[in-house]
Copies of this chain bind each other. A is one copy, B any other.
Amino acid sequence: MTLPSSKSDMSLNKRRLRMWIRMLRTTRFVEARLREFLRDNYDTTLPRFDVMAALYRSSDGLKMSELSKLLLVSNGNVTGIIERLVTDGLVLRVNVEGDRRAMLVCLTAHGRKVFEGMARDHEALINDLFAELDDEDLDGLVPVLSRLKAIEDKKS
């Protein structure tokens, strides 16, 4: 007869599954909070924020395909989001010199200004939501997540 099973006795694949389910729940919860925050304070959405964040980081603008690869979303998806951002005067679309297929996208001056405000508040919100995690927790967490990032490149 076996002793009462502890967590460590669980098979590795079951433990991985449980970890994934927990991780998924956490990200969904945080995403929901972010959506709420963006809607209430900036009348915008998470996908729009993600696009603007990517554009803000790249000084020279991004091509549509680069954007979709960066954000892990489909090509057609980016088209729609950019369309609405252009309408709102936050983003500019210009032709790429020497390649008439491609489009280069970047934030307008207004877009940069707006994003800077959002980013500040966003950081504060994340900080608050993850207040539970101290430096020691992060020391443990970040390297593991970093190693997981590697699987993205390997398996795709």
Contacts and interface: CB of A to CB of B under 8 A. Distances in A.
Interface in A106-129: 123-124, 126-127, 129
Count identical subunits in the complex. Answer: 2
Q: Across chains A and B, which 6 residue pairs bring their CB atoms closest together, nearest first?
A: A13-B127, A22-B145, A16-B130, A27-B27, A140-B140, A26-B148
B22 A24 contact: no
Main secondary structure of the interface of A (DSSP, over half): helix
Interface in A37-69: none
A12 interface: yes
Interface of A: 7-8, 12-20, 22-33, 72, 123-124, 126-127, 129-130, 132-135, 137-142, 144-152, 155
A26 B132 contact: no
